[in-house]
Amino acid sequence: MTSGGDSAGMNPAIKCCVEFARKQGFIPYLVYDGLRGLIDDQIFEADRERCSGILHRGGTFLRSSRSKRFFDIQFRQQAYENLQRRGIGQMIVIGGDGSFNALNQFYSDFGVPFAGIPATIDNDIAGTDYCLGVDTALNMIRQSVDSIRDTATSFSRAFVIEVMGRHCGYLAMVSALSSGAEICLIPELPYDLDKIGARLMEEKKHGRSYVLAIVAEGTRMSEPLTRWLTDSMNMDARLTVLGHVQRGGSPTVHDRIMAYKFSVGAVTALLEGQTNAIMTYKDGTFGTLPIDQVTSSRYRIDPDLLKLCSPLAC
């Protein structure tokens, strides 16, 4: 099942989970509509027709939802009975920490083991350096920023580009570094507009005619920065909020390969008897962590990346 926010890489993970599980002797099933579908019995055997032609598609063909009903033991009981009727004894959830916590509560109630595959463009799950969908989202952002740069240079304008990420600045930071932005504001770094202004004024003296600023949505600084560029820098400044275009797009090669490796790990973890394992990719190595360790820890961005990005905030 997939749950929470969608991300490119979910469909390849679904396909790989089904195919690898079948090779291990399992009979795989699919849950449509996330937690809501688990309650409403939207559960179907994963025949080959259902999983064909999905590898290249963005989002999740199983669809997703967030269900308040799942917080009620009565509806979790209903979901458990739906699984019992089909003899389903293990689950794989592809999503974020909210989805993992929901399945962990389900395990506490009824003893149904699960494995979690991290999938969120925010890349903010503790214990793993990578979540499915991040590379595709970064490439969608890169394409948009490259297009905006064409207009910025043509009209000598400043453009503020807001990217997603909730309270995590990973997308903004990597996008700023890879696109050559002059400014990057993220929640994890303090910023100094006076210093930024002095730096840009000096650069304007030496021929700079446009400015690109990447701002993480969690800073809530997109509109103030746009006004500041207009008032303090005397530039024609425009704001572009990329929004949900970042979630879409055909999964990149990197996301497809990561989906395969995470999926093999998830099925293998269940075969080995693990009960609430979250797949991880840390320092180039694939592994697992128990759900409690993942949800009780705080995700921290690579300090080397922060060091590279810090000159763009001052």
User: DSSP characters for 164-211?
Assistant: --TT--HHHHHHHHHHT-SEEE-TTS---HHHHHHHHHHHHHTT---E
> How many residues would you count in the chain?
314
In a domain, 210, yes or no: yes
pLDDT of residue 241: 98
Full domain range(s) for residue 126: 10-133+251-298
pTM (whole model) above 0.85? yes
pLDDT of residue 218: 97
In a domain, 303, yes or no: no
Q: Are residues 15 and 162 in the same domain?
A: no
pLDDT digits (tens, 9 = 90+) for 237-250: 999 999 999 999 99
Question: How many domains does the structure of the chain reveal?
Answer: 2
pLDDT of residue 163: 98
The whole-angstrom separation of Cα 2 and Cα 24 is 21
Hunting for tokens 């033991």 — which residue is that?
Answer: 73
Q: Are residues 165 and 206 in the same domain?
A: yes
Is a pLDDT exceeding 90 seen at residue 66? no
Mean pLDDT of the chain: 96
Is a pLDDT exceeding 90 seen at residue 65? no
pLDDT of residue 24: 97
Q: Are residues 178 and 242 in the same domain?
A: yes
Q: What is the mean pLDDT of residues 36-52?
A: 96
Structural contact between residues 97 and 295, judged by C-beta atoms closer than 8 angstroms = yes
Q: Are residues 141 and 198 in the same domain?
A: yes
pLDDT digits (tens, 9 = 90+) for 155-182: 999 999 999 999 999 999 999 999 999 9
- 47 included as an active-site residue: no
Q: What is the mean pLDDT of residues 202-217?
A: 96
Q: Are residues 25 and 172 in the same domain?
A: no
In a domain, 170, yes or no: yes
200 pLDDT band, cuts 50/70/90, is very high
For residue 201, what are the contacts with CB-CB under 8 A and spacing of at least 6?
233
Q: Are residues 156 and 232 in the same domain?
A: yes
210 Cα distance to chain centroid: 31
Cα dihedral value 18, 23, 24, 28, nearest 10: 30
- Can you say whether residue 111 is alpha, beta or left, with left for phi > 0 and alpha for psi between -120 and 50 degrees? left
Q: Are residues 76 and 114 in the same domain?
A: yes
Classified as helix, coil or strand, 80 is helix
Instruction: Out of 6, 33, 40, 122, pick the active-site residue.
Output: 122
Q: Are residues 20 and 118 in the same domain?
A: yes
pLDDT of residue 296: 87
pLDDT digits (tens, 9 = 90+) for 96-150: 999 999 999 999 999 999 999 999 999 999 999 999 999 999 999 999 999 999 9
Q: Are residues 106 and 150 in the same domain?
A: no
Domain of 256, CATH number, reads 3.40.50.450
Q: What is the mean pLDDT of residues 65-80?
A: 95
